[in-house]
Structure 1
Amino acid sequence: MLINTVLVFLQNILPIFVVFSLLFAQQDARYKSRTMEASQLNKQSNKNEKNNLDYLPITYLLTTTGIGLIIVFLLSYYMPRLSQLLSGTGLEILFSILFSLIYCFIVISFLLHKTSSLKQWQDKTFFDQQTLTQQKALLSLAILLLVFCVHGSYFSLYVMSLTIQNTALDTLYSGIVVGVIIGTGICLSIAILLYFILITLAKKLRRQIVCYFLLLFGIGQLIQGLQLLEQVDIISSNAHLWNTNYLIAEDSELGYFLTILFGYEATPSAMELIVYLSAIIVPIFIVKIITYKQNSTASFMKGTS
């Protein structure tokens, strides 16, 4: 009971801690970058720049967590009914959509952060930069809420299934409580270690690397949604291309972490490989196009001035 609870907790709750670390590391990277720029301005500009620093206020985080807990409770309560919809595939379809939404919001956030680092965006007015800051904050909160709801619902369903099957409630609750405490300690350790590794990177690379880590995290969520559709035969599952379980087993501690961090799959199918590569290439390609167009426009305007 205890070991199973710890493993299920790590598998379902660790993604929440990881996305917290990535979002706060991304926030810290923007803070450091803007602080360096602000030091070159006069005092008044410096004051405006500090007011424009984007961050995730604790009140917003607490509100998002509260909303997430309510949604987790509702999803857990209605899961048996949802699973009966659409010929028994309703739950898988719902969660695959939620996983896809996580990826879509992360891609939008990726595009905003990559394009906002261009000089054309940095020359925008204070009002435009403040609007962009609010958009980034809302996207971060939306990503956090979706990850919290999806993965929290899975763990909540696990606990509810145990309470229905197990009659020894005292042993059950003690095992769950101790398992949650141990799992929380492990998740906190991993999240804090990941955060400090990211923020100690070189300042010029920190912002870029955190953005790509978050994108890989989103791709991992997308692959989980794809696997749900394969389980209910909505998408045909092809033969496995290779098997790397002898190197890193998926059910090992390192395998869990790599699966959460960037969607590690020891036995990928051709469909999963195509989706994975497309999910990486398409956002980067869009950023390259936007960068090229903005640089071309800037060069043209400079040439005509």
Structure 2
Amino acid sequence: MAEKAPKQALKLGEPGFAGDDHVLPFQVEGLDVRGRAVQLGPMLDGILGRHDYPAPVARLLAEAIVLTVLLGTSLKFEGKLIVQTKGDGPVDLLVADFAAPENVRAYARFDQAALDAAVAEGRTAPHELLGKGVLAFTIDQGPHTQRYQGIVPLDGHTLEEIAGVYFRQSEQIPTKVRLGVAELFDRDEAGRARHRWRAGGMVAQFLPQAPERMRQADLPGGDSDEAGHVVAEDDHWAEAKAMVETIDADELTDPTVGTERLLFRLFHERGVRVYPPQRVFDRCSCSREKLKGVLSGLSREEIEESADAENEIAVTCEFCSTTYRFEATEILPA
């Protein structure tokens, strides 16, 4: 999932582009860096509000959505990128699904009692909520193709750190990821109290023309605590990474800062270019036809057991919470 610069650049400050729910590709030629940045507003708020997740769960899922959007919009084919965590913590499952070129859906699964206990004890850091497990990146190009999957352990205190491990192990591209989530309380135009979610993020990758410049220190092997082979990072990447690390979480989500302004703050001395933004939408891929096909694969006994007193079967999509109802006679084999 290496960044490829789009063909046509825009000028920073040009009106009428980017804004919420638009991923902005960028390139810093002076540092051999390419990347993407985004601020999510209404799209994210729609996904999280639909499920009314507790705040700690909503924050985790928001970070997973930002990460998925940043990586998914780099796909050069029609397919899917699925980012998923599975662990033994109170939030045992996060799934964010990006269907190229623009559709996003996501959901979280959690144990309410375990979550309540964790919150009461102040154990709400990402690694405490996720527990031990894995982070998986799956690329699905559709029928007749083999899925690609990269898996890394949930070895880090944040999704930023865990994603960094993935890029070092699986992609072997120097990559820096930043993620931020904000919960806003304000009033709408009519003066009524309002609650909203925002999130933002950036992924920057070092992609020089000479691949040998992409050197990184080896990760420790096995159970050893010793550092791997130590090498000096390329000066350009060290500079770029240091700049990205200066980003404050509030800058990633503040609508008055904006993605272009943030990129200008970071990289203007090195000549940052931005490219046409890509809109992303809160859209689920479920449908009545697809679910009917799944139900048709059940046995007669399973269908009869699933039907209610009115001889109907109700199926609710975990992603968008839409409920579909079917007459059992629609499904039962003739």
Q: TM-score, normalised by structure 2?
A: 0.24
Higher strand fraction: Structure 1 or Structure 2? 2
With a CA cutoff of 8 Å and minimum separation of 6, indicate the structure with the bigger relative contact order. 1
Higher helix fraction: Structure 1 or Structure 2? 1
